[in-house]
Amino acid sequence: MKTGILIPILIVVIITTLPANTLKIAFTSDVQGSFQRSYATWMNHDFPPPLGGVASLYTLVKRENPDLLFDVGNFLGIGPKGDFRQVSLAVKIINYLPYDAMGLGIEDLFGGVSAFKQFMEKTNQEFISSSLVYPDSTPVFIPYRILEIDNLKIGVFSILSSHADWFVPTWALDSCEVISENQAAQFAVDQLRQNQADIIIGLNQASFRHDTLLANSVEGIDIIFSGFDGFAGVWESSENHTVVCRIHTDLSSVGLLELQTNSHGDIISYKFTEKTLFTEEYPPHPDLLEITGE
């Protein structure tokens, strides 16, 4: 009789004492070519605190030492008329910053798919997009990546807003098509599951409403990183328990997510913070100031 009681107690003890691992992920979203120093005018119009741009971003990365660094999309900030003034600077910055994966944004396509491919060839990045396909449904860019950290397989995919064709000129898509958000996400999730990804992360270049719809509709996404419409914070789906983390635009802040996982790769807890890039807190790094010419 006593033996029958002890066995389940032992099982509970073993389960609750499984070793936990910490995974720290930093991300940027909708940088939009805002690489140089600026001011937080939304906080105080007359005496706005200074922000450090990519030079402060690099200081934050060096200090926080995240396991992974992502960009959701809209890094370039090319305008609707195809203003390429910041593109050569973007190449230098991307090749210096330790991004592990970068998503494709709507504004990155304003200069055309072909032009973006030429830009990408100058960088050390293969931009991800599960949404943009050729007429035969072949992906234009790699649809996902798998990164391995401490025996964990992290699957990362990137999707565009289903309203991309409202913003991007038809000629710029070069006969390519933007498929629906759910279709693109489901394809990526299925592929990543087949490749035994432990954690699946979506870089979603869309609005908060679209984030919530995607999180509730597509099962298997653990984390969504986003931005785009100025709404920031963290939200968890009651349907699929997908965690949505969002930050403000124009490189005013960086998202920092800390995950606790067990030995099976299951997420057991998370903590999200948005770090504003105040120069007082994150002094601009001189190497990046030299690159940006400040």
Instruction: State pLDDT tens for residues 153-192.
Output: 999 999 998 888 788 888 888 889 999 999 999 999 999 9
Q: Return the amino acid letter for 181.
A: E
At residue 76, the pLDDT reads: 86
- When the pLDDT of each residue in the chain is averaged and rounded to a whole number, the result is 89
At residue 2, the pLDDT reads: 36
Q: Return the amino acid letter for 106.
A: I
Q: Please indicate, yes or no, if residue 3 is contained in any of the structural domains.
A: no
User: Tell me: the pLDDT tens digits for 94-113?
Assistant: 999 999 999 999 889 888 89
What's the Cα-to-Cα distance from 49 to each of 139, 195, 219, 253, rounded to whole Å? 43, 46, 41, 13
- For 230-233, which contacts have Cβ atoms below 8 Å and span 24 or more sequence positions? 231/207, 232/274, 233/274
| Mean pLDDT of the 249-272 span | 93
Q: Please indicate, yes or no, if residue 18 is contained in any of the structural domains.
A: no
DSSP β-ladder status, 243-246 and 223-226: parallel
Q: What percent of the chain has pLDDT over 70?
A: 90
Q: Please indicate, yes or no, if residue 7 is contained in any of the structural domains.
A: no
Q: Please indicate, yes or no, if residue 10 is contained in any of the structural domains.
A: no
Confidence of residue 230 (pLDDT cuts 50, 70, 90): confident
Confidence of residue 84 (pLDDT cuts 50, 70, 90): low
Q: Please indicate, yes or no, if residue 11 is contained in any of the structural domains.
A: no
**Alpha-carbon dihedral sign for residues 63, 69, 74, 78:** positive
Tell me the three state secondary structure of residue 287: helix
At residue 263, the pLDDT reads: 79
At residue 100, the pLDDT reads: 98
At residue 128, the pLDDT reads: 97
Q: Please indicate, yes or no, if residue 9 is contained in any of the structural domains.
A: no
Are 199 and 241 in contact, with CB atoms under 8 Å apart? Answer: no
Are 131 and 159 in contact, with CB atoms under 8 Å apart? Answer: yes
| Mean pLDDT of the 26-49 span | 92
Q: Please indicate, yes or no, if residue 66 is contained in any of the structural domains.
A: yes
Q: Please indicate, yes or no, if residue 214 is contained in any of the structural domains.
A: yes
Which residues span the domain enclosing 213?
24-292
**For residues 266 and 260, what is the distance between their CA atoms, to the nearest angstrom?**
8
Q: What is the CATH number of the domain that holds 220?
A: 3.60.21.10
**For residues 204 and 155, what is the distance between their CA atoms, to the nearest angstrom?**
14
Q: Which pTM does this prediction carry? A: 0.90
Tally of domains within the chain: 1
Q: What does the block give as tokens for 102?
A: 């970068």
Minimum mean pLDDT range among 124-138, 142-156, 227-241: 227-241
Minimum mean pLDDT range among 75-79, 151-155, 204-208, 275-279: 75-79
